[in-house]
Amino acid sequence: MVENDVTDGVSPFDYDLFVIGAGSGGVRAARTAVSLGARVAVAEDRYLGGTCVNVGCVPKKLYSYAAHFHDAFEDAAGFGWHLPEVPRFDWATLRDNKIGEIKRLNDIYARLLDTAGVRLINGRAQVMDAHLVRVGEETFSAGKILVAVGGWPWVPDFPGNDLVVTSNHVFDLETFPERFLVLGGGYIAVEFASIFNGLGSDCHLIYRGDLFLRGFDRQVREFTRDEMDKKGVNLHFGTNIESIARVEGGLKVSLTNGEQLEVDAVLTATGRRPNLAGLGLDELDVELTEAGALKVNDRFETSVPSILAIGDVTGGPELTPVALAEAMHLVQQHFGDNSPRSPIDYRNIPTAVFCHPNIGTVGLSEEEAREAHGDIRVYVADFRPMKHTLSGSRERCLMKLIVDDATDRVLGAQMVGEEAGEVIQGIAIAVRAGLTKAEFDSTVGIHPTGAEEFVTMRTPTRR
Ligand code: NDP
């Protein structure tokens, strides 16, 4: 039998596992390892729950809900609702309620660790050698060290870049930005452009390429562009920020195309980098990828095998559920029965972008499928949701299925529309299971929903 890394009290180390970073991945790994008998400590120098809970997924979704009320108030009139006065948005209420909710979640994380018997150590950890970590004045030895420190927003270099905010601070702005600008064309840029637009800002999105959301299905990107444009987001493609200067009453943003805009706040959403500063791993010559992330093998071991890493710091898909899956996989391998396991399958990871309307996607885009499979059938439904027959809103919904012609397997599903993430989560099970279009077709729809389109599209739109 292969030995695992649980030491049953005979370890020469203080801990079997020392986790650096109490974000989604780190906390999950710590709790799961304890449940398998490991002695675990976690060091954290900032907030429990990491980016997702504090300055990512959770507050973003709360603000997205807040922004959706804008549309809801407008939609209501067609259904007979007359609001006594024009609804007024109060930023401080949203921000402070958010702070209360995040505090509640931080406390839950602390309790979870405490109840599990994980020792929580406050402070920035430094890895001293393959089995030694220092936090402040204290030093701890561990059989395995897990680096789960996540990423950190990266800001491009241009004059005035000290005047921008990043996603770390945008939730807590002192005053509501009536005029808001976001730089970037990824998840964070389109989500925050939609949020501030919905909350009532005059909102600009600046993206250097011809169309945002590079890597997503082209039709999804074009559809999203048109929907965001209809909702009033000012989209500027093919340009970048040249400089920002403080002027009376705001910030003057000069673009590389010669345009100038005056706004109250600028958010840079130009990607995130592994948060490795000060960890001491460079001194141990731990190998990095070309992008500067920690290089790991299928067992999440770095080039120093007792130092493990998961989540954003390894440069994989920067998504909370991926970090959670990696945490559980790692713990099973190192602290479980250690039987050989197949590596995590990173294909068909569903994802949602919470721009308005939302994007949900799983599997291949039309372009990727054409490249990989050649002959495909593409089924497209582009329609006005039933709700908007009375609301008067011009918002449309897009659904797409991409099918391999040779095997009839559904290779990808795409949606842009209300609650796209909720819909695609279910479809993702079918795509991951490798179901065929015929199996989708034999599934009875739920009527009347938008989602039933996924089982009723019969005629290919193109091949
Ligand atoms: P992304 O990597 O998704 O996007 C970065 C954007 O910044 C790209 O459009 C990129 O352009 C642009 N950019 C990069 N460098 C420059 C530059 N020098 N000047 C101008 N523009 C530049 O990063 P985000 O910050 O949006 O998000 C980070 C990650 O967090 C995402 O990749 C995602 O995995 C995760 N996330 C997930 C969410 C979700 O699941 N809903 C929500 C938010 C974040 P180009 O395309 O031309 O390279």
Q: Where are the domains of the chain?
A: 15-53+94-152+273-335, 161-270, 351-455
| Size of the chain, expressed as the number of residues it contains | 463
Average pLDDT score over residue span 366-389: 98
Which H or E run includes 369? helix 366-373
What is d(CA 161, CA 118) in angstroms, rounded to the nearest whole number?
40
Which H or E run includes 283? none
Query: 415-453: per-residue pLDDT in tens?
Result: 999 999 999 999 999 999 999 999 999 999 999 999 999
Cα 274 from chain centre: 15
pLDDT of 1 > 60? The answer is: no
pLDDT of 287 > 80? The answer is: yes
Atom of ligand 1 nearest to the CA of 57: 42
352 Cβ below 6 A of ligand 1: yes
Atom of ligand 1 nearest to the CA of 214: 46
pLDDT of 8 > 90? The answer is: no
341 — pLDDT class (breaks 50, 70, 90): confident
3 — pLDDT class (breaks 50, 70, 90): low
Query: Hey, do 15-53+94-152+273-335 and 161-270 end up sharing a CATH topology, with the first three levels equal?
Result: yes
Atom of ligand 1 nearest to the CA of 190: 26
Strands 119-122, 125-129: parallel, antiparallel or unpaired by DSSP?
A: unpaired
Cα 214 from chain centre: 15
Which residue has a Cα nearest atom 13 of ligand 1? 270
Average pLDDT score over residue span 400-408: 98
Query: 119-162: per-residue pLDDT in tens?
Result: 999 999 999 999 999 999 999 999 999 999 999 999 999 999 99
Quote the pTM value: 0.96
List, in order, residues 6 or more apart from 335 with CB less than 8 Å away. Answer: 4, 5, 6, 16, 17, 32, 33, 36, 37, 38
CB 383 within 8 A of CB 423: no
- The angle subtended at Cα 319 by Cα 317 and Cα 321, nearest 5°, is 115
Average pLDDT, the chain: 96
Predicted pLDDT of residue 86: 87
List, in order, residues 6 or more apart from 371 with CB less than 8 Å away. Answer: none
What is d(CA 45, CA 330) in angstroms, rounded to the nearest whole number?
23
191: left (phi over 0), alpha (psi -120 to 50) or beta: alpha
List, in order, residues 6 or more apart from 78 with CB less than 8 Å away. Answer: 390, 391, 392
pLDDT of 377 > 70? The answer is: yes
Which architecture characterizes domain 351-455 according to CATH? 2-Layer Sandwich (3.30)
- Name the phi and psi angles at 209, rounded to 5: -90, -175
Average pLDDT score over residue span 3-32: 88
Tokens of 354: 């919470």
What is d(CA 256, CA 208) in angstroms, rounded to the nearest whole number?
9
Neighbours of 332 (CB within 10 A): 17
Query: 80-106: per-residue pLDDT in tens?
Result: 999 988 899 999 999 999 999 999 999
Neighbours of 460 (CB within 10 A): 15
Which H or E run includes 399? strand 397-404
**CATH topology (fold) of 15-53+94-152+273-335:** FAD/NAD(P)-binding domain (3.50.50)
Percentage of the chain lying above the pLDDT 90 cut:
96
Q: How far is the CA of 349 from the centre of ligand 1 (A)?
A: 18
Domain 161-270: give its CATH superfamily: FAD/NAD(P)-binding domain (3.50.50.60)
Predicted pLDDT of residue 11: 83
186 Cβ below 6 A of ligand 1: yes
Q: How far is the CA of 214 from the centre of ligand 1 (A)?
A: 9
Amino acid identity at 31: R
Q: How far is the CA of 272 from the centre of ligand 1 (A)?
A: 7
